Amino acid sequence: MIARLRQPVSPELYRRITVVALVLLIFIVVTGAGVRLTGSGLGCTDWPNCTDQRFVAERGDVHAMVEFVNRMITGLVSAAVAFAVLGSLRRAPRRADLVRLSWGLVAGVLAQIALGAVVVKTDLNPWLVQGHFVVSMLLVLDAVVLAHRARLPDDVATRPAVTPMLLRWGQALVGFAVVVILTGTLVTGSGPHSGHNEAEDGATAAEKLRGRPGGEAAAHRRARRGPHPRDRHDGLPRRRHLGARAAPPPPRRHRPRQRRHRPAHRARAPGRHRLHAVLHRRPAPARRPPRARRLARVGRGAEPGPADAGAGGRRALRSARLRR
């Protein structure tokens, strides 16, 4: 077994290891969201044990079991990250960028474990919970880059397959996504806490934003105010005010339906039948040469042809002979 571990790791095997690590890191983010949505943040009141007396959560306690399952998945993530680091060191050939990215996963997992312990000890401080989520996003980003670079060939120089303009747009999109994620942890409207129904109201940005002039309280105050010069001229309030309803429009008077005069005959454009006749008309039959041309031919001593047959041809031939 030890001899097998000492063997070099192929690039294909290491790529599979990085994909497994990425999937587990995404899965633990999903289970962490389940802990947040079910209010199971304080299901296990101690760390690393679930309680002071038990390491495993009780079966009847749903919140404790949800939190304990999330902690157990952390063990699987730690094992996958350890394999990623060892694989980068034993990979043949070894690449410095893969080694750095794998050690970044180790640093992120250790930070997650330490920060998770502090979050439990501080009874789910909202700022620490937000930091816990941000570190998870950084771990997922590191794992995505590691899995992508593990697919690239070792001795072939690569270049972007898109235009420079599209590459810059992609980088700007990543920057906007980072801003949305960071601000989303601050202005969340899910409640005054971050994970448990009985947690104390900490520094919640959502509650502070509601008290500002543009918040919900100001909207209710504007809805209860008196008339304003910018209101509608018919006395009805505008729908932009919270709680204001627009009255239904007055009923329209019944007007008899008037028929419009339509001409009996209309100029119609050429249809498909006319177009077919123009495109497929037959050519005119070949006409006989005129009489003057026949006379000239006979006068030059040409033999009468098939076109000279008939009464006209015989008269022309007789007159030509008399001239001679």
Rounded to whole angstroms, how far apart are CA atoms 25 and 138? 10
Mean pLDDT confidence for 228-254:
52
pLDDT band at 298 (very low <50, low <70, confident <90, very high): low
Neighbours of 67 (CB within 10 A): 26
Maximum mean pLDDT: which of 65-69, 87-91, 199-203: 87-91
- Higher-confidence residue of 16 and 129: namely 16
Q: Are 140 and 178 in contact (CB under 8 A)?
A: no
Rounded to whole angstroms, how far apart are CA atoms 252 and 184? 49
**2-11, 61-70, 158-167: which has the minimum mean pLDDT?**
2-11
Rounded to whole angstroms, how far apart are CA atoms 282 and 25? 78
Rounded to whole angstroms, how far apart are CA atoms 113 and 65? 18
Mean pLDDT confidence for 155-182:
86
- Higher-confidence residue of 103 and 259: namely 103
Neighbouring residues of 85: CB distance < 8 A, sequence distance ≥ 6? 99, 102, 103, 105, 106
**44-48, 208-212, 266-270: which has the minimum mean pLDDT?**
208-212
Maximum mean pLDDT: which of 216-220, 230-234, 259-263: 259-263
At residue 301, does pLDDT exceed 70?
no
Secondary structure (3-state) at 9: strand
At residue 129, does pLDDT exceed 60?
yes
Mean pLDDT confidence for 272-287:
65
Maximum mean pLDDT: which of 111-120, 233-242, 269-278: 111-120
pLDDT band at 255 (very low <50, low <70, confident <90, very high): low
- What is residue 288's predicted lDDT score, i.e. its pLDDT? 57
- What is residue 125's predicted lDDT score, i.e. its pLDDT? 78
- What is residue 138's predicted lDDT score, i.e. its pLDDT? 92
